[in-house]
Each structure stands twice: as structure tokens, then as C-alpha cells.
């Protein structure tokens, strides 16, 4: 449906509650040639009611939505797709790497669990903490969705129904992550790639056999590359997946890159005096939260170890199936 000229280009921010530590998630409703919703919130009653109410205040029914574009596959961004599928015949667009996650593909999630069990053991996580892995899977199944993409978006694609916007692949926080960029005014819809008030985690993910992967993706290295790529665009403002819109993006990216390097150097100073497992380092970095937030804190630690190894500043020795990190010298 073509909307009247004055409504074109309007972007509405919808703030949707989540049960997660990150707090509310931002969806964006764009009145382009197609009425487009960016991301969909978690699968909870509160989130659904909040979405319906905020749409209503704009004079919009959920069934009016022509398309939903996913920035990435995380449960706080996709769960309400199941509800929207019931009430609307929208098209779902996103990077093909969303598919294994959003379809609750059993083989993929079995592989996911096996992968993390093996990885965590090799990183020195004690057996008593490994039940965090099936719990995470249960959480994803509860708050995420079970659906499929209708159209795949990749690097450089124009966005159907949104003239002037194009797709930039920004993997790292999630490997499925894309951002949308409008060259005319430098506006970016950034999902969780760039958030103002918190640094985005580069989460550890399993290789996706459905995408032909064999090796574990090095999430933090990917994330840093995606940040550096964004430095090559004129970005006036980022509409982020959480919190306020972000200005001063180029300075913020410099700060983020610098903080990562500082954290890596701190870890390097530790492993230069004694060999440590990733779990040992995780406990020292996050003594208060590692038990409750094992996946997040281990991702953060492993990512920075990957960075040190990549820079030739750390090396790994395996002993009885466990990796020990040492300084390079």
C-alpha cells in the first residue's frame, strides 16, 4: 500500500518490555512504501500487549504490518513473530543466518547444546556449571519464535518497501546481524551492533551446519571488524535496539575498540605470570556475576582471548582436553 507523501519516512520507536537483564527492547515502525516493523520483541504477554497498545496509539493494527525485518536472531528481538504470524500476513526479512535460530530447528539446537558442552569443558568450566547450557536452550525455546524467513537480506541489498535504505552486514554481536543504512542522511538502524549506554557483547555461537560452517566463529574479532567497517560510513545517528539513539558514533566506536584492547591487555598480564583456563580468567574478571551470567561472561572472556591469540600475544596449550592460555613469550 502506498502511503500519502507526508507519512513516508516517518519512523516510530516502540519500547517493549523484556524479562531480561538488558531491559526493554526498541522496535522501529517505518512508514515507507511498505509498513515495516524492525524486530519483534520477546514472546511474553507483557510484550505482546505493549506492542498492540503502542501500535493502536499510532492508529495501526498488527494486521496492517506489511513486513518485519530482523536485525538479528536473539530472543528479545524475535519472539513476538509467532503472535504476529497469527494475526498478520506480513513477510519476514532477515539475514539467512537467522533461520536455524528462529525456526527452533531441533537438530541445530541439539548441535548447539553439544557444541557448548564440549567448548565449556575445553575452557575449564567445572561440570557443576554445565547445566547452564540446557537452561539457556530452554530459555530460547520459551521466549523465541518458531517461524521462517520469507526473504533473505544480504550485504548491499536494497530493502524492499523502504527506498533509500540498504543492508550492511554487521556480524559479531550475533552472526546473523545486519544494520540498515540510509545514505541520504546517514541514519542507521543498528540493532544491538551499536548501543549507547552499554557495550554490546560479542556472543559465542556454535558453527551453523545449515550454513556450511565447520569452525567456531571468532565473534569478538568479527564484531571489531564490523565496528571498523562502520567507521567508513558517514553515520549521523544510530537508532539502537536498546536505550536512546546514539550520536557521536565514530567516537563511541573508537572508545569501544580501545576498551576491548585494554581488557585484552589486562588478561595478557595475568596469563604472562601464570597459565590459566578461560574459566579461571572469567572468574577473575567477573567474580560477582559469572555464576548467574555464565554464557555472557564466558563469551566476553573467550572473545578477548581470541583477540590475544590472533595478535600473537597469547598461546594455547592443551592438557587432557583442557586449554590453558599463556603469554606468547
* Closest approach of Zn ion to the CB of residue 96, in Å: 18
If the CB atoms of residues 31 and 192 are measured against Zn ion, the closer one turns out to be: 192
Q: How far is the CB of 288 from Zn ion (least distance, A)?
A: 23
Rank residues 74 and 224 by Cβ distance to Zn ion and give the closer one. Answer: 74
Report in angstroms how near the CB of residue 13 gets to Zn ion at its nearest.
Answer: 17
Residue nearest Zn ion, Cβ-based: 74
What is the SS3 assignment for 317?
Answer: strand
**How much of the chain is in helix, strand and coil states, percent to nearest 5?**
40, 20, 40
The least CB distance from residue 150 to Zn ion, in Å, is 22
What does the longest C-alpha to C-alpha distance in the chain come to? 67
Q: Are strands 158-159 and 151-152 parallel, antiparallel or unpaired?
A: unpaired
- Which CB sits closer to Zn ion, 102 or 276? 102
Separation of alpha carbons 186 and 171, rounded Å: 20
Least distance to Zn ion from the beta carbon of 72, Å?
6
In 149-260, at which residue ranges do the beta strands (DSSP E only) sit? 151-152, 158-159, 162-169, 178-182, 187-191, 237-240
Q: Which residues of this protein are in contact with Zn ion, per CB under 5 A?
A: 74, 192
User: Which is nearer to Zn ion, 34 or 302 (by Cβ)?
Assistant: 302
* Extended strands (E) in the chain: 10-16, 25-31, 35-38, 67-69, 91-94, 151-152, 158-159, 162-169, 178-182, 187-191, 237-240, 314-319, 322-327
Please identify, using beta-carbon distances, which residue of 75 and 308 lies nearer to Zn ion.
Answer: 75
Q: Which one, 48 or 193, has the nearer CB to Zn ion?
A: 193
Q: Which is nearer to Zn ion, 200 or 277 (CB)?
A: 200
188, 175, 173: which is closest to 98 by C-alpha?
A: 175
Work out the angle at residue 89's Cα, subtended by the Cα atoms of residues 83 and 91, and round it to the nearest 5 degrees: 95
Q: Which of 116, 138, 143, 37 is nearest to 278 (CA)?
A: 116
| Least distance to Zn ion, CB of residue 139, Å | 14
Q: Residue 324's beta-bridge partner residues? A: 317
**What's the min distance (Å) between Cβ of 93 and Zn ion?**
17
Amino acid at each position: 500500500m502506498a502511503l500519502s507523501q507526508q507519512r513516508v519516512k516517518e519512523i516510530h520507536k516502540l519500547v517493549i518490555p523484556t524479562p531480561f537483564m538488558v531491559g526493554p527492547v526498541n522496535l522501529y515502525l517505518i512508514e515507507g512504501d511498505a509498513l515495516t516493523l524492525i524486530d519483534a520483541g520477546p514472546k511474553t504477554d507483557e510484550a505482546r500487549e505493549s506492542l498492540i497498545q503502542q501500535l493502536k496509539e499510532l492508529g495501526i493494527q498488527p494486521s496492517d504490518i506489511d513486513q518485519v525485518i530482523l536485525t538479528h536472531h536473539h530472543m528479545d528481538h524475535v519472539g513476538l513473530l509467532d503472535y504476529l504470524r497469527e494475526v498478520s500476513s506480513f513477510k519476514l526479512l532477515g539475514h539467512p543466518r537467522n533461520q536455524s535460530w528462529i525456526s527452533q530447528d531441533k537438530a541445530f539446537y541439539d548441535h548447539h547444546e553439544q557444541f557448548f558442552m564440549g567448548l565449556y569443558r575445553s575452557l575449564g568450566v567445572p561440570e557443576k556449571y554445565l547445566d547452564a547450557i540446557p537452561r539457556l536452550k530452554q530459555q530460547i525455546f520459551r521466549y523465541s519464535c518458531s517461524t521462517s524467513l520469507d526473504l533473505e537480506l544480504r550485504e548491499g541489498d536494497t530493502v524492499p518497501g523502504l527506498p533509500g535504505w540498504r543492508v550492511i552486514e554487521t556480524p559479531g554481536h550475533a552472526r546473523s546481524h545486519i544494520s540498515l543504512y540510509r545514505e541520504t542522511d546517514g541514519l542507521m538502524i543498528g540493532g544491538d551492533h551499536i548501543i549507547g549506554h552499554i557495550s554490546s557483547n560479542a556472543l559465542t555461537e556454535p558453527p551453523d551446519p545449515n550454513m556450511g560452517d565447520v569452525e567456531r566463529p571468532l565473534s569478538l574479532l568479527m564484531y571489531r571488524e564490523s565496528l571498523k567497517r562502520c567507521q567508513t560510513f558517514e553515520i549521523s545517528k544510530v537508532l539502537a535496539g536498546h536505550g536512546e539513539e546514539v550520536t557521536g558514533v565514530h567516537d563511541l566506536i573508537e572508545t569501544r575498540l580501545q576498551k576491548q584492547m585494554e581488557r585484552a591487555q589486562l588478561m595478557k598480564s595475568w596469563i604472562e605470570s601464570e597459565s590459566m583456563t578461560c574459566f579461571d580468567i572469567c572468574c577473575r574478571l567477573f567474580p560477582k556475576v559469572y555464576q548467574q551470567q555464565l554464557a555472557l561472561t564466558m563469551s566476553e572472556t573467550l572473545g578477548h582471548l581470541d583477540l590475544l591469540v590472533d595478535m600473537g600475544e597469547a598461546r594455547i596449550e592443551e592438557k587432557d582436553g583442557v586449554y590453558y592460555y599463556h603469554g606468547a613469550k
